[in-house]
Amino acid sequence: MKSVRVVVVGAGVIGFSTAVCIVEALPFCSVTLMADKFSPDTTSDGAAGILFAAQFPDIPLQRQRRWFKDSFDHLLAIAQSQCAPEAGVMLSSGYWQIFKEVPAVKKPFWSEFVIGFRLMTDVELKRFPDHKFGQAFTTLKCECSTYLPWLEKRFRKAGGQVEQRKVNNLQELSNSFDIIVNCSGLGSKVLVGDTQVYPVRDTKGILERCRRLEPSLNKAKILSEWVGLRPSRKNPRVEREVVEMQGRPVPVVHNYGHGGWGVTLAWGTALDTLGLVKQSLHEMAPQPKL
C-alpha cells in the first residue's frame, strides 16, 4: 500500500497520545498532528494528572476497564524507566477520594489496577470532619506540562510531523489527508457540530474545598493560578464514521470528550482509536479481483 496520509487534530494529551500510537504502529502512514495551540497553552497542561476515574453511564464497563488498565500500564512503565524525570511521570500515594456519605459502590471498577487500594480507617477519617468514607491507594501522577513536550519529542522521533494551524472545519483537510482523526476536545462543538460537548471549570471552588479539608492551607501563599475548560461530555466519543467530503468518502475517527479524565484514559482511548484507524485502512485497501 502507498503511504497513507493521516492527520490528528488536537495537541492535548488525547491528541498527542493518539498520534504517537498511530505513528509508531503504522510506519507506512504519514502522520501529521495539527493544532492552533500547543504546550504550554493547552487545557491538558493544567491537568492534575492523577490516575483514577469516574464511571461513564453508557459505555460498556469492560471497555472502560480496558481504557484505564492500558493507560495505567503505559504510564507505570514510564514511571519505572529512566525516562520518568523527563516525562514527568511518577508514583504517588495518598488519600485520593473522601466522601461525606458512603457511596453505593465502595470499590470502583479501577480499584484492582492501582496499587494497594484500601478503604480508609476510622482513625484516618477523623482528620476530615464531616466525611464518613475514603479510599487510599498508590497511583500515578503525570505532570502534563512536562509529559506533553516529551510525547511531542517521541512523536517527531518516530517520523511524525507537527503543524501549527487553526482548523475551522474538517472539510478543509480532505484534499490533503486520507484519514482524519479528531481529538479536538471542545473544538468538536464547532468542527463536527457536537452539541453534547460542554466546558467545565472551577478554581475558586477547588481552593475553598481544599482549605476546608486542610486548614493549614488558609494562610498559604498562592504562587500562580491557572484555569482551563475541560472538554466534558456525558460519554467520551471514541468511534469511527465515513463522511462525504469533496465528493469522496473520508474516514473520520473521533476521540474526545473525556472531561476531567483525559490523562487517566488517554493511552487507552488512543489504542482504541488506533484500532479504528486500522479498520479504515483495511477498508481502503484495494480488494483482489476474482
* Secondary-structure breakdown of the chain: helix, strand, coil percentages, each rounded to the nearest 5: 40, 25, 40
Cell (9 digits) for 193: 457540530
> Is 203 flagged in the annotation as binding?
no
Is the backbone of residue 159 left (phi > 0), alpha (psi -120 to 50) or beta? left
Identity of the amino acid at 168: N
> Is 146 flagged in the annotation as binding?
no
> Is 259 flagged in the annotation as binding?
yes
> Is 167 flagged in the annotation as binding?
yes
Cα–Cα distance measured from residue 155 to residue 41, given in angstroms and rounded to the nearest whole number: 19
> Is 230 flagged in the annotation as binding?
yes
> Is 150 flagged in the annotation as binding?
no
Exposure class string for 4-23: b at 16+ Cβ within 10 A, else e:
bebbbbbbbbbbbbbbbbbb
Radius of gyration of the chain (CA): 20
CA distances 10 to 13, 34, 52, 245, Å, are 9, 6, 23, 20
Residues annotated in a binding site for FAD: 43-44, 167, 259-264
Could you list the residues known to form a binding site for D-dopa, using ranges: 230, 260
Annotated binding-site ranges: 43-44, 167, 230, 259-264
